Structure formats: structure tokens, C-alpha cells
Amino acid sequence: MPISPQVSPQLSLQPFYTIHSRSCSLVVDCRGNSPAILYWGVRLNEASSPEMLSLLATRQEVQACMPEEAPIALSPELGAGFSGSAGVQIHRDGAQWAVYSQIQSVCVESNNRLRIVSQCRGTEIELAHCLQLDTNTDVLTATTQLTNIGQSTLWVDRCDAPCIPVPMHYNKILGFKGRWAKEFQTQSIDRFMGAYVRENRSGRTSHDAFPAVIVHSDQANESTGEAYGLHLGWSGNHHLRIEEQFVGRAYAQFGELFFPGELSLAPGESYCSPVLYGASSSTGFTDLSACFHQYIRENLTDPRMQGKPKPVHFNTWEAMYFDLSMPRLCQLADEAAALGVERFVLDDGWFKGRKSDRAGLGDWTVDATVFPQGLGPLIAHVNAGGMEFGLWVEPEMVNPDSDLYRAHPDWVLNAAPAPLLLSRNQLVLDLTRTEVQEYLLEQLDNLLSEYAITYLKWDMNRVINQPGNAEGRAVTHYQTLALYQLLARIREAHPQVEIESCSSGGGRADLGILAHTDRIWTSDSNDALDRLSIQKGFSFFFPPEIMGAHVGPRDCHVTGRSISMATRAGVALFGDMGIEANLLAMDDTEKAALKAAVALHKKHRPLLHSGKLVRLDTENYENSFGVIAADKQEALFSYGLLDGQPNSAPGRLRFPGLDASTLYTVNIIWPQQPSSYSKSILDILNGSVISGDALAKFGVQLPLMLPASLLVFHLVFHRRHSDQ
């Protein structure tokens, strides 16, 4: 039954509510009709009261404006006169659209979680805002739940996650742009009067509009300055907005983007926004990222993966493409095992009729022309070499040239009467149909039950351009939820299987998909120089251990650029390492270097996949970062030269984040034989004992290097300076 609206505010409400984490505080102002964030930032001490903050925030009446401004509420309201973008936009056949709510209750849990319930008499809705600061990582999670407490259908155009006021001195926006094979590129602009808006209608997280932003003060960089990092954990359509109003206030909004008529609520039904994840830092971007990395490690990494080493991959795609044969696959497996690879992944081309990308999707049975005895003999060969076996799948798609489509042409999403649009020769299955869910679950369950498969590379290679179901309604929202459901069912049935989120590379990378997967394929470009910028952008929100990073061929098939093995392997070392190149075409020198890189990665994998990632502020022609152990007794730093240096002699590399009082033994551990034009630091550095203080403040004189080359430094605890 619909709930009768109760609109009288409870007398027991407090004017302010404060929650804390280890280093942050968040204060919510509940004096008005709707709740609003008064403060979010560095933890307040006991001497600072919300009343003081409220006094300091007092604003005066502005000319040609209302005497009292509508608040930047958790859901800014049209009925309250908010002149910006309303957080909830709804109607009942064009009426009851002006939300003006009143707080009904506030629940505080464990000093770090708030649940605020409000109701609106005019629109007959209930809003529940949940805000939580994670105690250990300082990450804010925030959702808005909308419930229809009226007697008729409620049409929902928008229901954003809670709105975040942006401090006035956060006058810079660091956004993310990109494309296929060039994802996670940063874009810095000055905040301006008006709205910075990114919208995504691709049906996946997208290559070009990653749902995240960093707003920061003018002087903020990797190691200093104030900033908010905000990310929407959602794998479908979304929008984000950073708006500066003419009165000088600014705010950030994130939410799901709906197509016309996509979401409606019957009486009593609810909708909950995707989770908005946020972090606040007063010490720069690196510490901001550390909050997200640790949160993922503690809260989104599945328990079965906690502490498990990430196996080094070999993926067959760029070695074979669709030209599969058992003899060559077995040869590749032997070569991979000899290099120290721990997981062999058979990519596209293994299933019925799959000789190109024009046919076969949807028919998830093994191609008998390539594997007359099924996958069993190949898996046995791979396992005999000491490797696990993984498999590529693209369950959400179907080729018109497939048995599945010929039997069920009505199972695809569409925009009838418009003609179906092919992309990469494929259409999109309607996962919201029960029969489609059951078919895919059965096909995947059969494979995972019959064969010793421990890994699925789950791909999605096209945009959902026509997201309509059989009834003609847009269903991107429900398609995304259905994907989550299918992934959850597979994990429940086969908990030993790890799943990688791939979407033509990094097209589905967000904290929503991470609740159901274990690895993200960052980009289809294995060009090492492109990868440095891609991986840098990725690292703002994701830790290295979930970042698929492969050693590609010498000649990259995406860029055509030829890059040395030392650089290709050195870039892949710092992620979830893999190889995606034709080992049969490599000479002995390349294989030896690759084998050494794999061994080096394994040796330092515990540090790489648990330490704190530290990015360095560098010039455009260079890239540098490090990973430092929690106890600061060990670190790895990478320095890459992307292009020619502007001066005849290079500059210095400093190592931030170390313990100043510790003495470190310093070695250059990659490449195996680093070289320079003349005698340099390379000839005298290894084995030197240098204080963390000197390394951070003075740094190492870099050698003359060729463009597209890099160095990896290893710093390990020698002794405390006080122990001398």
C-alpha cells in the first residue's frame, strides 16, 4: 500500500549532524526544510562547533536576488527556488513536479553514517539520503533513495546522488576525457561561471566520459594543496556537473542519465541512485588517490581475492587474432611457461563459426574445426606447464550470423521502427529478458562446469545505440542492473573464477563494475608510451593490482610505433602484468629480457600490489611515479622519458614519500643493462646508501637517455640514521 505522507518535522531534530572518519569530518545542516552539507574536509577538533561554521558561512542578500538563497541541498529543489540544476526531477503526467521537502528523521550510526529522511507533500515523494565516511580510508559514500508515496505513477527524469557544495577556492577542474585506445586522459580547466557538464549515453561507463572529476585549489598538485575527488560507481549512462552560479556558489552533481520515459515508479516503489564515492585531501592528489586505493582494497576487493597474488598473464589475441590452431597454441603455451607466465588466456576465435568478427557471437560452444576434442586437450597442456587457463567471452552481444540470432531475432535491443544498427558486426542482447539471462547463464555455466577455467575476460565491444526493449521502452538502467545480476550469479555458481571487465579496453571501468569483477582491462593499446598516460589517469581512482598491463609486440598494432622490450616490459611491471605478443616471433634476446621482467615483477609483486602509489609532478616529456611500502622500508620508482629533453643535460629525480630518517640502499634494477651517452650516475649509483631526506629533497641526477626509455629504481631499508 502507498505510504501516507507525513510532513510535520520531528521536534527532536538537531540543527546540525556531524560524522567523522580517521582524518575527515562532514557536517550536515538540518536547520532548514532540506538537508545540506555545511562542511566536508580535514577533521575538525573539539573546539570547532557546527554553530561556528554556520556563523562563518553567513551570506548577505545579493542584488536582484531573493532575500534568502535556496540552499545547495543534498537534493537541490525546484520548489525551494533553486536556480541551478535540481537534484530530483519528477512529475505525474506533467504535474506535481516542484519538489519542496521537509526533514522527517535523522539517524546517526556508529559516528560515521547518517540517514536523513525527508518527504514532500506536493509531489508525494520520500527522499532518503545516506552519507557515510569510511573510518579507515576517509572515503565518503553517498546515495539518494526516492520512494513514490503517492497513489499514481511517478515519472523520474533525474535522481542524482547527494549534491556536494564546492568551496569557492577550489577553482580548478581536473576532468577526464579519452577515446578507444587512449582512455583516462586528464583535462585541466579553470572553473568558470556556468556549468562544466559531461554526459554519457553509451550504455557503458564509456571511453570518453569517465564518471569522475577532481576539483581543487589553484596551487594543488600531487604533493600539496586541497582537493575533492568524486566518482560515480555506475556502469551505464551518467552525467556529471560542476556549476558555478552567478552568486558565487558552486556545487558538484553526479547521477544516472535516463532516456525519455525510462524510469517510472508505481505507488510504493523506490529507486536508489548509484553510489557517489568521494575523498577530500589537503595534501595533494596522491593522497587523494591513496584514499580510493585503500577503500577498494578493503571494501570492493572480493574476500576470495584478498591477499591472493595476481598471476602473470599470457593472452593470445595479438599473437594469433582469429587464426587459431592447436599446434600453435600449444607452442605458445610452452613458450609462455618458459618465461614464467602463470595464466594462459585464450582470446577471441575459439567458439562455433568464429573465423572473424562477423559471425559466431551468441553460440558459446567450442568450434570443432579447431578443437575437435573440445578445449580439454589445450587446457591439459596449459595446466601441465604449470599455468591456469582463462577464456575470452562477450556474452552481451550477438552476431546476426549466428544460430542464436536466427532462432531469436527478438532478443536484441532496438529502437523500432528505426532499422537495427550494427557495430563491429554485432547487436546487443536484451539482458532484461528472463530468457536471455537464463540462456547466457546456462551457456557460461556449461563451459565453467565442463572445463578447468579459472578466469573469464568479459568483453563488450560496442556502444548501446538503440537501448529499447520489445515494448519500445528505453532500458539502459535495467540493462546495467541485469549485467550486475548475471555477473553475481556466475560468481556465486563458480566462486573460483576470476572475471576481468573489458569493453574495447577501458570502456567499462568504474567502482560499480568492481563489485562484480576482479580486474580491469585498461586499454586496447599496448603502446608503452601511450600506456604511461593511460595508466596515470587510471591511477587517480584505481590501485595497480586491478590494472591489466600487458607487454605488447615491438610494433604496436594501434599506433604503429616500435618500442624496445626494456620499455614495454618496464611499463607493464607496475600493474597486473601480462604478455600479449607473438612469442614465436621473438628472438632469444627479447625472450631473455621478458623472462627477466616477469621474474622481477613476481619478486616485487607483494609491494606493487599493496603499497602506496606516489605520482610525481613532471614535465610533459617525462613520466614518473613510485610505489612505497606501508612501513616505508622499501620502494620502487619509475622514470620514463617520453620525448627529447629540452636541455643538453637532464634534470634531477626526487623521491617523495620516503621516511626522512631512514637510510636506503639504492639500485637501478631495470633495464638489465641501462646505458647512457657518457659516464653518469648509472656507473656509480648501485649499492649507494642514501637517506630518505636527501632522496626527497635533493634527488638523483638523471642520466642522458634516449626518448622512449625508462629506469626503475629500487630503494630498500638499510638502517635508521639514528642507529649509526
Residue ranges of the alpha helices (H) in 609-706?
A: 692-697
Residues identified as active-site? 459, 524
Mean pLDDT of the region 124-143: 98
Q: Which one, of 17, 42, 14, 35, lies nearest residue 27 by Cα?
A: 17
pLDDT exceeds 50 at position 2: no
The Cα angle at residue 394 between residues 391 and 397, in degrees rounded to 5: 160
Residue 12 pLDDT class (50, 70, 90 cuts):
confident
**pTM > 0.75: yes or no:** yes
pLDDT at position 66 is 79
pLDDT at position 722 is 63
pLDDT at position 721 is 66
Kindly report the average pLDDT of the chain as a whole number: 96
Residue 42 pLDDT class (50, 70, 90 cuts):
very high
Instruction: Write the single-letter amino acid at 651.
Output: G
pLDDT at position 132 is 98
- CATH node for 16-45+70-300: 2.70.98.60
pLDDT exceeds 90 at position 700: yes
Mean pLDDT of the region 464-480: 97
* Tens-digit pLDDT profile for residues 254-287: 999 999 999 999 999 999 999 999 999 999 999 9
* Tens-digit pLDDT profile for residues 599-655: 999 999 999 999 999 999 999 999 999 999 999 999 999 999 999 989 998 999 999
Residue 69 pLDDT class (50, 70, 90 cuts):
confident
How many CA atoms within 13 Å lie on the side-chain side of 554? 11
Q: What percent of the chain has pLDDT over 90?
A: 94
pLDDT at position 18 is 97
pLDDT at position 276 is 99
**Which range among 129-138, 154-163, 255-264, 301-310 shows the weakest confidence by mean pLDDT?**
301-310
CATH level 3 topology of 616-723: Immunoglobulin-like (2.60.40)
Instruction: Write the single-letter amino acid at 248.
Output: G
CA 94 to CA 334: how far, in whole Å?
Answer: 66
Q: Which three cell numbers stand for residue 258?
A: 535516463
* Tens-digit pLDDT profile for residues 25-37: 999 999 999 999 9
Mean pLDDT of the region 650-673: 97
Q: What are phi and psi of 180, to 5 degrees?
A: -60, 135
* Tens-digit pLDDT profile for residues 504-517: 999 999 999 999 99
Helix and strand numbers, DSSP H then E, in the chain: 12, 38
Length reported for the chain: 724
Mean pLDDT of the region 337-349: 98
pLDDT at position 67 is 78
Residue 724 pLDDT class (50, 70, 90 cuts):
low
* Tens-digit pLDDT profile for residues 348-392: 999 999 999 999 999 999 999 999 999 999 999 999 999 999 999
pLDDT at position 6 is 41
Mean pLDDT of the region 455-465: 97
pLDDT at position 493 is 98
Give per-residue burial for 252-280: e unless 16+ CB within 10 Å, then b: bbbbbbbeeebbebebeeebebbbbbbbb
What is the distance, to the nearest Å, from the Cα of residue 74 to the centroid of all Cα atoms in its chain? 24
pLDDT at position 9 is 41
Q: In the 8-state DSSP scheme, what is residue 300?
A: I
pLDDT at position 114 is 98
Q: Which one, of 29, 113, 108, lies nearest residue 73 by Cα?
A: 29
Kindly calculate the radius of gyration of the chain based on its CA atoms and give it in whole angstroms.
Answer: 27
Extract the runs of DSSP E, i.e. beta strands, from 421-552: 427-428, 455-458, 498-501, 519-521, 547-551
pLDDT at position 325 is 97
- Cell 612505497 maps to which residue? 628
Between 3.40.50.2300, 3.20.20.70, 3.40.630.10, 3.90.550.10, what CATH number should domain 311-608 receive?
3.20.20.70
pLDDT exceeds 90 at position 133: yes
Residue boundaries of the structural domains of the chain: 16-45+70-300, 311-608, 616-723
By DSSP bridging, strand 662-670 and strand 709-720 are antiparallel
pLDDT at position 155 is 98
